[in-house]
Amino acid sequence: MPITLASNNYGKSRVRVVKVTRHADRHDLAELTVNVQFEGAFDAVHLSGDNSSVLPTDTMKNTVNALAKAWSGEQIEEFGSQLADHFLGNNPQVSRVRIEIGQIEWTRIAQSAFMRGSEEKRTTRVIATPATVEIESGIENLVVLKSAGSAFEGYKKDRYTTLKETTDRIFATAITANWIYRISQVAFGPCWREARAAMLKTFVERDSPSVQHTAYAMGEAVLRAVDDITEIRLSLPNKHCLPIDMAAFGLDNRNEIFVPTDEPHGLIEVSLQRR
């Protein structure tokens, strides 16, 4: 059987850029990390070493910088679309471009001064072809913890099960969520904030019988809150905080002292859609 090129893509990852927008009364600040990836008619590059169709990844980086200047500094979804449009418009050899952007959180502390926020990121992914565009928005690494209203019991047990059932545990997770809009022009900022608020409200207010149940409820809350979102995926690590057995010290640990652990961790993923 002959060997064939089944698929290929190439691009530039981790292009970092800071944009300062200088208003009369204040500066605005945006810090982004951008990935650009191309698919298309690149067989000759791979098979015969003919580079004539290859826009260098260094040029992709330069383009991110150049277009950042024209960008409003506001919605990353719009910047992603502008990049996708530019690359498709100037590169007929490209059949599909994927732009991923993560925005770092800076909090204003003065007219032209800022403090780094949490490791939470606002994200977008724009996938475009000459005929179509799909825009995802999302959140990465929104870390939350509740110390009440979380249980885990009634689960399946086998010979390797040692976990104790509990009606009161710590539930800590790092929310990563990605959602797809029905249309390519929505009010990205307000939609993003409403989706985020819906997830947080559900996490806080609703009792959790399992991470799965809470993950589903959070997705449902987003779909109920924002009509233009048609689909959402959530990925929730269970960042275990294990109660420490203090019987050996003659102490009774009444759910007060825990050891937080990074590994191993549970991982719960769920996607919801309208149909």
Distance of closest approach, residue 99 Cβ to its own copies, in angstroms: 13
46 near its own copies, rule: CB under 8 A: yes
Write out the two tokens for 266: 């549970």
Write out the two tokens for 230: 């048609």
199 near its own copies, rule: CB under 8 A: no
- Is residue 96 within 8 A of residue 87, CB to CB? The reply is no
Alpha-carbon gap, residue 48 to 69, rounded angstroms: 37
Q: Which stretch binds its own copies (CB under 8 A): 45-53, 75-83, 95-103, 186-194?
A: 45-53
Do you find a cis peptide bond into 190, omega within 30 degrees of 0? no
How many residues bind to its own copies according to rule CB under 8 A? Answer: 132
Alpha-carbon gap, residue 3 to 44, rounded angstroms: 15
* Residue 57 annotated among the catalytic residues of the structure: yes
- Is residue 138 within 8 A of residue 100, CB to CB? The reply is no
197 near its own copies, rule: CB under 8 A: no
- Is residue 76 within 8 A of residue 103, CB to CB? The reply is yes
- Residue list 81-110, contact with its own copies (CB under 8 A): 90-91, 106, 109-110
- Residue list 230-259, contact with its own copies (CB under 8 A): 231, 237-238, 241, 244, 246, 248-251, 253-259
Of 2, 23, 25, 167, which one interacts with its own copies (CB under 8 A)?
Answer: 2
Element (H, E) at 87: helix 76-90
263 near its own copies, rule: CB under 8 A: yes
* Residue 132 annotated among the catalytic residues of the structure: no
Of 95, 114, 129, 133, which one interacts with its own copies (CB under 8 A)?
Answer: 114
* Residue 240 annotated among the catalytic residues of the structure: yes
264 near its own copies, rule: CB under 8 A: yes
Write out the two tokens for 146: 């509740």
Q: Which residue is catalytic, options 19, 33, 57, 86?
A: 57
